[in-house]
Amino acid sequence: MQFLEQEILEITEATWQAMLGLDIQPRVLPASLDTGAGYLTGRVEISGAWNGVVLLHGSIQLAQAAASVIFSNSNGAVTEQDQMDAMYELTNIIGGNIKSLLPEPCQLSLPCVYGTTPEILEVPGAEQVSELVFDCQEQPLFVSVWKRVDP
């Protein structure tokens, strides 16, 4: 799975630095994808000349840290809605930057953010073409791209 891997790595690192000022590093060893409570998944669809899905998957602690920076709150003042909104914004920005690398014309849907379940991490009718894992504040962040195989 090498689809736009270097570009996705650069997009994610640049987004984290510009928006959050948080250090994020590619993870050398794969992390296990946890689907239990305490994780959020952002999802955005790309349609047009290329059809697929971008997923951003991370822990509540990671969403809390992002929300704290985005909304200028201390961790204690961050609400569940703030965490969802932060994941929404990050999914939209990363998905939009990935879309800009794809053949035109393509459109980006509005992102959706869910509490993570195994079903949320599945993309029926699509194959995973890229997955990167990052570490931020000792929490894993997964960025995956899925290409639709069904028309």
29-36 CB contacts, 8 Å cutoff, 24+ apart = 30/133, 31/133, 31/140, 31/142, 33/57, 33/121, 33/142, 34/59, 34/116, 35/116, 35/117, 35/118, 35/120, 35/121, 36/116
CA distance 99 to 95: 6
Residues of the chain where predicted confidence (pLDDT) is lower than 50: 1
Place of tokens 């929404």: 88
Place of tokens 């994808």: 33
| Predicted local distance difference test score (pLDDT) of residue 78 | 87
| Predicted local distance difference test score (pLDDT) of residue 146 | 95
| Predicted local distance difference test score (pLDDT) of residue 1 | 46
- Cα diameter, the chain: 46
| Predicted local distance difference test score (pLDDT) of residue 35 | 63
| Predicted local distance difference test score (pLDDT) of residue 145 | 95
| Predicted local distance difference test score (pLDDT) of residue 38 | 85
| Predicted local distance difference test score (pLDDT) of residue 2 | 63
Amino acid at the residue 40: L
| Predicted local distance difference test score (pLDDT) of residue 55 | 96
